[in-house]
A = this chain, B = another copy of it.
Amino acid sequence: VRNLNLRQIAKHARVSTATASRAINRIPTVNPYLAKRVWKVIEELGYYPNTQARALVSGHSRTFGLIISELTDPFFAELVQALENVAAHDGYQILLGMSGRDSGQLESGIRRMIERRVDGVAALGFDLSEPVIRVLLSHNVPVALMNRLSPPPGVINIRIDYQNGVRQAVQHLAALRHQSIGFVTGRESLMCTRVQKNAFLDAMTEIGLGTRHDFMISGDQSIESGKGALRQLFSLSYRPTAVVCSNDLTAIGMLVQAHECGISIPHQLSIVGFDDIDLAQFTGPSLTTVKVSRADLATVVFESLVNAGTTPASTEVKEYLLPTNLVLRRSTSLAVSDVR
């Protein structure tokens, strides 16, 4: 059927392709009268400029690759949605690439992104290996990471303020007279798990509370692991009266398991989540949690990538720190006494 190109537009508007191009790109030096004529033809004929050709010559695709491990984790789903919004607002597109925990799949995903000449790649909820990062950087593709512990040179590292977030949670519990507090970690292999765990230990030490080894439960940020964590906690002879989770999904799992076992939350156990996903306000009881703004996170990711594309690549690491806020709901309450 029809497949219009610039030349035909130019012909219909009785100008040269150069002028038509300039009109489209709103270059101010073009005669307004001619510009109007060009736009009129574009409207009438329903012309859509070919992004591929544009990208080919300009070198910018206005496209960012997004590597995600689990879209089914609500935190990431909400983050992707937020990112898509800010990107769309500036005419950028998001190219999806799931890693799916399979390294071969990851590699082919990265390859396709480079072949598509993305203007940047963000890897969220997933630790990209250094070799992969180097490949990306060597192709002039800016890379944005989340919570990287020792970021390789040249990347953008966006850190969520776990130190402060976890401290807020711990101090809230301490203010409620909790003395023995547990922590459920994320997947051992992820860097941010270590950061969170240390933040927890620091916060506890800071207020003079020790932590027993068996109060540190290791999970994987899933509902299932939250359920397991609760069972594990209640099989202890000496139990904590409160627990902080590495994310809301874990906390929700604990809530579910408590419900099944007839354990009353928050009376028998106070629970604090992390992230503040939408679901957190709908659980029974609603979840006290540390909020991480997806909108802010998305904005930082987007702007830092756009920025990296316009400024010359450097080997230094750009760090951004994202604040957190405690959201009080109904899954925490005053500690009555130690439970045994």
Query: Which A residues are within 8 Å of any B CB, using their own CB?
Result: 1-3, 46, 48-53, 55-56, 61, 70-72, 74, 77-78, 80-81, 84-85, 88, 91, 93-98, 100, 105, 108-109, 111-112, 114-117, 135, 138-140, 223-224, 227, 252-253, 256, 259-260, 278-279, 282-284
Flag if B84 contacts A96 (CB, 8 Å): yes
Flag if A112 contacts B93 (CB, 8 Å): yes
Flag if B61 contacts A52 (CB, 8 Å): yes
Q: Mostly helix, strand, loop or mixed at chain A's interface?
A: helix
Contacts of A1 in B (CB 8 A): 138-140
| Contact of A50 (CB < 8 Å), options: B93, B117, B279 | B117
Contacts of A112 in B (CB 8 A): 51, 88, 91, 93
Given contacts A52-B61, A95-B93, contact A81 B72 (CB under 8 A): yes
| Contact of A84 (CB < 8 Å), options: B51, B97, B279 | B97
Contacts of A55 in B (CB 8 A): 52
| Contact of A46 (CB < 8 Å), options: B49, B95, B138 | B138
Chain B nearest CB: distance from A114 CB in Å?
5
Flag if A52 contacts B116 (CB, 8 Å): yes
User: Within the assembled complex, what's the spacing in Å between the Cα atoms of A111 and B108?
Assistant: 28
Contacts of A74 in B (CB 8 A): 72, 74, 77
Query: What are 15 A-B contacts defined by CB distance under 8 Å?
Result: A1-B138, A1-B140, A51-B115, A51-B117, A52-B52, A52-B56, A52-B61, A70-B81, A77-B77, A80-B96, A88-B108, A95-B96, A223-B279, A227-B282, A259-B284
Q: Which 6 A-B pairs have the closest CB atoms?
A: A259-B284, A94-B96, A71-B81, A77-B77, A51-B115, A52-B52
Q: What is the chain B residue whose CB lies nearest that of A255?
A: B284
User: Within the assembled complex, what's the spacing in Å between the Cα atoms of A81 and B114?
Assistant: 21
Flag if B71 contacts A80 (CB, 8 Å): yes
How many of these chains are in the complex? 2
Q: What is the chain B residue whose CB lies nearest that of A95?
A: B93
Flag if A72 contacts B78 (CB, 8 Å): yes
User: Within the assembled complex, what's the spacing in Å between the Cα atoms of A314 and B80?
Assistant: 35
Q: What is the chain B residue whose CB lies nearest that of A294?
A: B72
Q: What is the chain B residue whose CB lies nearest that of A114?
A: B48
User: Within the assembled complex, what's the spacing in Å between the Cα atoms of A98 and B223?
Assistant: 27
User: Within the assembled complex, what's the spacing in Å between the Cα atoms of A10 and B223?
Assistant: 53
Contacts of A61 in B (CB 8 A): 52
Contacts of A50 in B (CB 8 A): 56, 115, 117
Flag if A260 contacts B278 (CB, 8 Å): no
Contacts of A53 in B (CB 8 A): 52, 56
Chain B nearest CB: distance from A316 CB in Å?
17
Chain B nearest CB: distance from A62 CB in Å?
9
Given contacts A55-B52, A77-B71, A256-B282, contact A96 B93 (CB under 8 A): yes
Contacts of A71 in B (CB 8 A): 71, 77-78, 80-81, 84
Flag if A98 contacts B72 (CB, 8 Å): no
Given contacts A93-B96, A96-B96, A98-B85, contact A111 B80 (CB under 8 A): no
